[in-house]
Amino acid sequence: MSSVPERSEVDEDYTWNLESIYASDDDWESAYEAVAERVDELAAYEGQVTDDADTLLETLELRDEVMREVSMVASYARMRRDEDTTNQEYQALTARAQSLASDAHSAASFIDPELQELTREEFDAMVDAESDLETYDHYVDDVLRMKPHTRSAEVEELLAELGEVTGATGEVYNMLANADMSFPTVEDADGEAVEVTQSNFVNLLKRPDREFRRTVHEEYYDEWETLRNTVASAYKNSVKADVKTAQARNYDTAREAALDGPNVPVDVYDTLVDSVHENIDKLHHHAELKRQALEVDDLQMWDVYMPLTGDEGPDVEYDQAAEWVVESLAPLGEDYQSRVAEGLDSRWVDVYENEGKQSGAYSGGTYDTQPFILMNYQDDISSMYTLAHELGHSMHSELTKDEQPFVYSNYEIFVAEVASTVNEALLTNHLLETVDDPEFRKHVLNEFLERVRSTLYRQTLFAEFEHEAHRLEEESEPLTADRLDELYRGLKEEYYEPAVVDDRIAREWMRIPHFYRAFYVYQYATGISAALAIVDDVLPNGAGGDPNRDAAEDYLEFLRRGSREYPLELLRIAGVDMSTSEPIDRALESYGQRLEEMDALLDEAN
């Protein structure tokens, strides 16, 4: 029987080094108690923030010091919990850390409203009096920009305190999906029992045995069906919380509120959706190629993840993947490349799945720690790309910390997904240029096509779903499980027109954790569009860009800037203008060209 190991069975070399944050849980406890006391220090500045330049600087520096310490406490607790989400001790530590973070944000909630009592001219005068305040110039500009949507200090404190409550549905969903749910064990063609998990579900849908895939698909979604009312209630209340919070901040819609935070115009969202729909025929072509490659009459939903090569991809062990990823980063310079290699040797990555481990992958850590990457590596090409992806996030954080103060270290997701996807695109280029095995090359080409399909098209589908779900709530239409199924199914039918959309796939919305962080997923689609344009400029054989500029250095400068400018301004440093459809159109054009290449390869094989 294929089984998932216990945490204790995983080689330490393939686990992350959380002891580099706190050597023991006792040390965490001491840090928790120390920063909990510091939170109260902030209250002394309430009502005095803008009295003079010295007081303003003291307030902002104290706030940053406290938040730095809180982030370390919270990050450690969360990552310990994610090692085994069934561990009650670390669930408790995480809950305490989340409460502390909520308390800290509540304690600091008076700062922005008081800052908004200043005019821009008054702040500039304070900078003249205390030059160290210049560090906060962009931060203050952002605070003043948000004045129409910032409430009184009393209301802001209440909203901060309610943050833990309004975000509770996501926490409930996370525990349900990762700790409490269990999926059936299914038998493969060889009679071997295979345990279905959140982490391996998609991978199992890439197995060549079609009947096995159908069984996995049906058993997995049937398990979700047993919880449809619970999950629908969780999502409905998550959407409701988004809408009510937006209304409390004087926004017309939850989407407007979400995009205004990073100062991304709503037009960017709509341009993405419009551009994807104008190129939906390319996705239909991809689906038709899958049907032909699989030699089936109808493409079913359990066939969608199958590669165009028609069989399982080659095994790629983690150590080989790490080597290829490092090599692929050469166009970004020796310093960038060697820093990644050193990080991999320093246990940045928690590599393999274990019982109870948080599903998926992410890059974590804080301003004062090394990066930490959670993975559930499956010895395949897709996992190798996930490693490259998360290392992009980690290096973005590292380069930002090198150049920026803490206040600009938490860059927006809109730009973060560019860094991760640049690494993926560089990996594709490197493998196609250096690996001779024709079958392996076909799998790499297929991976590129799947990444665009799943990142640009699929995430845009998700973006449409959550936009419509929030619109229904804003118009007081009930968000029942049946209505959500209907909405999701309609989008699936539009995007995957050549395929058979069955009743079970209409429940797919239930398994998407990103929906509990509203209007997040569209940034994957804009990110891959910007990234492909940047890589086209950076590569020596790239077709785009200005030959008179150093595209790689411009890109690295973009990474170093953190959040010191707004997202669209940052991307212009890297040579990309996301206020237009041009990067999206370039990405979709590249996707179409690769589809034609694959079509020709499949014809040759036949």
Catalytic residue among 69, 390, 398, 424: 390
In a domain, 197, yes or no: no
Same domain? 151 vs 253: no
For 32, phi and psi rounded to 5 degrees?
A: -60, -50
Question: What is the SS3 assignment for 355?
Answer: coil
In a domain, 220, yes or no: no
In a domain, 332, yes or no: no
Q: Both tokens of residue 274?
A: 């419009």
In a domain, 378, yes or no: no
Q: Both tokens of residue 483?
A: 């209505």
Q: 560-598 burial, b if ≥16 CB within 10 A, otherwise e?
A: bbbbbbbbbebbebbbbebeebebbebbbebbbebbeeb
pLDDT at 544: 53
Same domain? 157 vs 38: yes
Residue 377's H or E segment, with its range, is strand 372-377
Same domain? 137 vs 252: no
Q: What are the angstrom distances between the C-alpha of 345 and each of 200, 250, 349, 586?
A: 26, 49, 9, 36
Q: What is the DSSP letter of 350?
A: E
Give the per-residue SS3 of 484-539. HHHHHHHHHHHHCCCEECCCCHHHHHHHCHHHHCCCCCHHHHHHHHHHHHHHHHHC
Same domain? 464 vs 560: yes
In a domain, 130, yes or no: yes
User: What CATH number does the domain containing 151 carry?
Assistant: 1.20.140.70
The two most distant CA atoms of the chain are separated, in Å, by 78
Listed residues 166, 201, 228: the one ending a domain: 166
Q: Mind giving me the DSSP string for 96-144?
A: HHHHHHHHHHHHTTTHHHHHTTS-HHHHHHHHHH-GGGGGGHHHHHHHH
User: What CATH number does the domain containing 259 carry?
Assistant: 1.10.1370.20
523 within 8 A of 413, measured Cβ to Cβ: yes
Q: Both tokens of residue 547?
A: 């030959």
Number of Cβ within 10 Å of residue 145's Cβ equals: 14
Same domain? 153 vs 272: no
Assign residue 545 a region: left if phi > 0, alpha if psi is -120 to 50, beta otherwise? left
Whether residue 390 lies in the annotated active site: yes
Residue 598's H or E segment, with its range, is helix 582-605
- Find the angle CA(245)-CA(170)-CA(274) to the nearest 5 degrees: 70
In a domain, 328, yes or no: no
pLDDT at 36: 96
**Cα atoms in the Cβ-side hemisphere of radius 13 Å centred on 35:** 27
Same domain? 585 vs 493: yes
209 within 8 A of 188, measured Cβ to Cβ: yes
pLDDT at 546: 62
Query: In sequence order, what are the residues at sequence separation of 6 or more whose Cβ sits closer than 8 angstroms to the Cβ of residue 234?
Result: 169, 172, 173, 176, 516
Number of Cβ within 10 Å of residue 263's Cβ equals: 17
Same domain? 277 vs 395: yes
Number of Cβ within 10 Å of residue 424's Cβ equals: 27
Query: Which residue ranges of the chain lie beneath pLDDT 70?
Result: 1-2, 311, 541-548, 605-606
pLDDT at 387: 98
pLDDT at 442: 86
pLDDT at 159: 81
Domain residues for 117?
A: 7-166
Same domain? 162 vs 253: no
Same domain? 133 vs 271: no
In a domain, 366, yes or no: no
500 within 8 A of 269, measured Cβ to Cβ: no
Over residues 249-273, the pLDDT tens digits come to: 999 999 999 999 999 999 999 999 9
Q: In what order do the strands lie in the sheet with 362-364?
A: 349-352, 372-377, 362-364
Question: What is the SS3 assignment for 475?
Answer: coil
Over residues 286-299, the pLDDT tens digits come to: 999 999 999 999 99
Fill in the amino acid letter for 26: D
Return d(Cα 530, Cα 182) in angstroms, integer: 38
| Total domains present in the chain | 2
Return d(Cα 561, Cα 543) in angstroms, integer: 26
pLDDT at 606: 67
- Find the angle CA(34)-CA(36)-CA(39) to the nearest 5 degrees: 115
Listed residues 109, 131, 166: the one ending a domain: 166
Residue 187's H or E segment, with its range, is strand 185-187
Q: State the residue for tokens 């079958």.
A: 439
For 296, phi and psi rounded to 5 degrees?
A: -125, 155
Same domain? 260 vs 149: no
**Which among 256, 254, 264, 239 is positioned nearest to 526, based on CA atoms?**
264
Return d(Cα 514, Cα 517) in angstroms, integer: 5
Return d(Cα 13, Cα 33) in angstroms, integer: 31
In a domain, 583, yes or no: yes
| 545 burial level (CB within 10 Å; 0-12, 13-18, 19+) | middle
Question: What is the SS3 assignment for 65?
Answer: helix
Same domain? 132 vs 270: no
Query: In sequence order, what are the residues at sequence separation of 6 or more whose Cβ sits closer than 8 angstroms to the Cβ of residue 281?
Result: none
Residue 373's H or E segment, with its range, is strand 372-377
Listed residues 117, 132, 166: the one ending a domain: 166
Q: Both tokens of residue 332?
A: 């970004």
